[in-house]
Structure 1
Amino acid sequence: MPGTQMLKDLVAAFNAHDLDLVMTFFDDDCVLETPRGVEPWGTRFQGRDAVREGLAQRFRGLPDVHYADDEHWLCGDHAVSTWRLTGTSTAGDRVTLNGCDLFDLSPEGRVRRKDSYWKIVEEPPLVTPRLAGQM
Structure 2
Amino acid sequence: MHGSNHVSLERVHEIGLAFNRHDIDFIVDSFAEDGVFRNAMGSDGAGNTYRGRKEIRAFFEKLFASSPDIEWRASAEYVSGNHGVAEWHRTATTASGEKQDWLGCDLFTFRDNMIVLKDTYFKIIER
- TM-score normalised by length of structure 1: 0.83
2:62 aligns to what SS in structure 1?
A: helix
Per-residue deviation, 1:48: 1.0
Mapping for residues 112-123 of structure 1, pairs under 5 Å:
112-122=116-126
Per-residue deviation, residues 39-79 of structure 1 (Å, max 9, x unmatched):
00110001110111122232123211111133211111111
Residue 13 of structure 1: aligned partner: 18
Q: 1:60, 1:51 → 2: CA distance?
A: 14
* 1:11-64 superposed Cα distances (whole Å, 9 cap, x missing partner): 111111110121121111100000111000110001110111122232123211
Match of 2:99 among 94, 97, 100: 94
1:34 maps to what in 2? 39
Distance 2:22 2:124 in 1: 24
TM-score, normalised via structure 2 length: 0.88
Instruction: State, as a whole percentage, how many aligned pairs show the same letter.
Output: 30
In the TM superposition, what is the alpha-carbon distance from 1:115 to its structure 2 partner? 0.5
Structure whose alpha-carbon radius of gyration is higher: 1
The residue type paired with residue 43 of structure 2 is V
CA, structure 1 residues 121+69, in 2 after alignment: closer, same or farther (shift >3 Å)? Answer: same
Higher relative contact order (CA 8 A, sep 6+): 2
Name 2:4's counterpart in structure 1: none
- Which residue among 103, 110, 113 is the counterpart of 1:109? 113
Structure 1: gaps (5+ residues): 124-135
What is the total number of aligned residue pairs between the two structures? 122
Residue segments in structure 2 that go unaligned for 5+ positions in a row: 2-6
Distance in 1, matches of 2:11 and 2:83, equals: 13
Counterpart CA distance in 1 for 2:113 and 2:74 is: 23
Q: Which runs of 4+ in 1 moved over 2 A?
A: 120-123
User: Please, which of 2, 8, 14 is the counterpart of residue 3 of structure 1?
Assistant: 8
> What CA distance in whole angstroms lies between the structure 1 residues aligned with 2:75 and 2:18?
13
Q: How far did 1:118 drift?
A: 0.7
CA distance in 1 between counterparts of 2:66 and 2:121 reads 17
Q: Is the 8 A contact 1:26 1:112 kept in 2?
A: yes
Give the aligned CA root-mean-square deviation in angstroms. 1.6
Report the secondary structure of 1:119's partner residue: strand
